[in-house]
Amino acid sequence: MEEIGHFINGKRVAGKSGRFTDVFNPATGEIQARVALATVEELNDAVAKAAEAQRGWAATNPQRRARVMMKFGALINEHMDELAELVSREHGKTLPDGRGDVQRGLEVVEVCMGAPALLKGEFTDDGGPGIDLYSMRQPLGVVAGITPFNFPAMIPLWKMAPALSCGNAMILKPSERCPSTSLRLAELITEAGLPEGVLQVVNGDKETVDAILDNEVIQGVGFVGSTPIAQYIYGRAASNGKRAQCFGGAKNHMIIMPDADMDKAADALVGAGFGAAGERCMAISVAVPVGAETADALVERLVPRIEKLKVGPYTAGDDVDYGPVITAAAKQRIEGLIDSGVAQGADLVVDGRGFSLQGYEDGFFVGPSFFDKVTPEMDIYKEEIFGPVLSQVRTDSYEEALKLTMDNPYGNGTAIFTADGDTARDFAHRVNVGMVGINFPIPVPLSYHTFGGWKKSAFGDLNQYGPDAFRFYTRTKTVTARWFSGIKEGGEFSFKAMD
Ligand code: NAD
């Protein structure tokens, strides 16, 4: 059985803890490897080495650091198929989705190739007699990235590329369900010229994460995962004096106005609701048609499209629309929530329970499910299902649809489909959600903007990637300098002169 360890000081090492957890092949249900879970001592040791390495890395000028990103980007491109396969093998998503996972991470690496421009400081000339002020951005030191299972390439890259470009060292703790892609990325960035110890990949579970949160050397924590864990990590990291940004779960609504192109709206809902088995924090899980006619027109178009979806292993190639969910427990939880929707009175129009695929009977597959007439009191509305389940909540007016979206505790992404510019503009302006799509179902911003939700979808300050990441991974120092030769005659410094 393959044993997956850590990546410490530029190479793979075995775990010493004797603690492991299984890594499954979600398509077959078989255990394909086991991954080591680091102890507090292993974590602290990795941090001490990272702190040593960080000093030299921070002293390397930003352009040289950016050159490492350039080579890293080239290597990711060169190894695209291999990385996509690694993603799909442990996660179960289709190969095109695996490639997309790598590609969206690569785009953040590409922005980091221009890091020197984003790290420039500010300067005020002659702020007073002979006085100049300048602000510089300095790295935090050692930071940590704690990432979820659902984007094994993209999210580790969102964390490591900006953090390292800013001159930090990073402890990356990937999801124990999909650890291999992070280890391979660490090898590639080392090949690209990153000095040993600057990126340490430490696999682990809660014990390892708690060791990160309590380690005094670690200055910042970037987390992505479910809301309860995001809230927990934010609280513990912040109370230990660390800078923290913790991104959580989602329940993304898509409003469909009566004037929308119904075929395009239905296509968008199927892609955004069922793609990657619904295991995306930007998946649309709630369709909100305005008016009974719109709702009926959608049902008519959605049902044949959903029934046509092909579910299977990534190895089946282009024939498959989405793969299995991540674990047997996830499958059981999703099917349990579908049961609850039926029991609580929603109309289950397409039932994905009990899905079985010949030759893959033990795989964690869930067929696509579609509920109509869902109400906000039902568990299928309240819970983030994180599976291939789309719920339709009928509304009578735009204002009611907007209120539903705004009253939801999550605020990651949302979308509106309409032909009316005034409605679209009003929605974008008023809705209390971080990322908004207009006739665009999954509005993940491009890598030179920034990614982040509102409400219970994010704890802490600043977004991921783009200019915000450069603010999160640096701290500002401002120098006020006075040079007496610059004081003009009669211009003796006084606080008055500064007024
Ligand atoms: P998760 O919260 O279970 O795990 C995320 C990370 O936290 C993993 O590295 C895991 O090892 C660690 N962890 C788990 N339990 C812990 C505990 N009790 N104490 C300390 N650490 C713990 O999330 P997941 O199931 O891997 O990922 C799916 C979730 O992530 C969904 O809720 C999804 O919406 C969310 N997500 C959010 C975003 C975003 O940007 N907002 C992006 C992707 C995924």
What lies within 8 Å, CB to CB, of 179 at 6+ separation is 4, 23, 35, 90, 203
Do 119 and 138 form a contact (C-beta atoms < 8 A)?
no
Do 75 and 193 form a contact (C-beta atoms < 8 A)?
no
Report the alpha-carbon distance of residue 23 to residue 31 in Å, rounded.
6
Distance from the CA of 224 to the center of ligand 1, in angstroms? 6
Helix (H, G, I), strand (E, B) or coil at 397: coil
Residue 293 phi, psi (nearest 5): -65, -40
- Give the structural domain span for 374: 252-438
CATH number of the domain to which 403 belongs:
3.40.309.10
CA atoms within 13 A on the CB side of 485: 0
Residues 234 and 352 in one domain: no
Please report where in the chains the tokens 């991954």 appear, as a residue: 35
Mean pLDDT of 126-153: 97
Task: Give the model confidence (pLDDT) of 70-128 as tens digits.
Answer: 999 999 999 999 999 999 999 999 999 999 999 999 999 999 999 999 999 999 999 99
Q: Is the CB of 146 under 6 A from ligand 1?
A: yes
Evaluate if residue 63 carries a pLDDT over 70.
yes
Ligand 1: atom nearest CA of 227 is: 32
| Total residues found in the chain within this entry | 499
Tokens of 141: 């030191």
Distance from the CA of 480 to the center of ligand 1, in angstroms? 43
**Domain contains 157:** yes
- Which pTM was predicted? 0.96
Residue 281 annotated to the active site: yes
Of 383, 410, 438, at which residue does a domain stop? 438
**Domain contains 308:** yes
Whose CA is closest to atom 21 on ligand 1? 206
**Domain contains 260:** yes
Mean pLDDT of 156-177: 98
Residues 470 and 381 in one domain: no
Q: How many CB atoms lie within 10 A of CB 415?
A: 30
Residues 240 and 265 in one domain: no
Report the alpha-carbon distance of residue 342 to residue 389 in Å, rounded.
13
Evaluate if residue 31 carries a pLDDT over 50.
yes
Ligand 1: atom nearest CA of 151 is: 43
Q: Is the CB of 386 under 6 A from ligand 1?
A: yes
CATH number of the domain to which 120 belongs:
3.40.605.10
- At 224, which amino acid appears? V
% the chain with pLDDT above 70: 97
Ligand 1: atom nearest CA of 458 is: 41
Tell me the pairing of strands 142-146 and 413-417. Answer: unpaired
Residues 260 and 111 in one domain: no
Task: Give the model confidence (pLDDT) of 381-430 as tens digits.
Answer: 999 999 999 999 999 999 999 999 999 999 999 999 999 999 999 999 99
Mean pLDDT of 332-345: 98
Q: Is the CB of 226 under 6 A from ligand 1?
A: yes
Residues 315 and 402 in one domain: yes
Tokens of 181: 């892609």
Give the model's pLDDT for residue 499. 47
Residues 18 and 128 in one domain: yes
Residues 326 and 404 in one domain: yes
Candidate of 40, 150, 410 to mutate for ligand 1, largest count of ligand atoms within 8 Å of Cβ: 150
Q: Is 494 exposed, middle or buried (0-12, 13-18, 19+ CB in 10 A)?
A: exposed
What lies within 8 Å, CB to CB, of 134 at 6+ separation is 121, 122, 123, 124, 478, 479, 481
Q: What is the 3-state secondary structure (H, E, C) of 184-217?
A: HHHHHHHHCCCCCCCEEECCCCHHHHHHHHHCCC
Task: Give the model confidence (pLDDT) of 218-274 as tens digits.
Answer: 999 999 999 999 999 999 999 999 999 999 999 999 999 999 999 999 999 999 999
Report the alpha-carbon distance of residue 44 to residue 214 in Å, rounded.
10
Report the alpha-carbon distance of residue 70 to residue 114 in Å, rounded.
9
DSSP letter (8 states) at residue 20: E
Residues 75 and 143 in one domain: yes
Residue 252 phi, psi (nearest 5): -90, 130
Domain tally for the chain? 2
Residues 6 and 155 in one domain: yes
Residues 313 and 428 in one domain: yes
Q: Is the CB of 463 under 6 A from ligand 1?
A: no
The region, left, alpha or beta by phi > 0 then psi within -120 to 50, assigned to residue 460 is: left
DSSP letter (8 states) at residue 311: B
**Domain contains 94:** yes
| Interhelix angle 206-214/227-239, nearest 10 degrees | 30
Tokens of 295: 């709702």
**Domain contains 499:** no
**Domain contains 100:** yes
The candidate with the shortest Cα–Cα distance to 208, out of 169, 180, 174, is: 174
Tokens of 177: 């369900």
Q: Which helix (H) or strand (E) holds 142?
A: strand 142-146
Residues 219 and 154 in one domain: yes
Residues 126 and 210 in one domain: yes
Tokens of 467: 């200019």
One of 166, 178, 246, 281 is an active-site residue; which one? 281
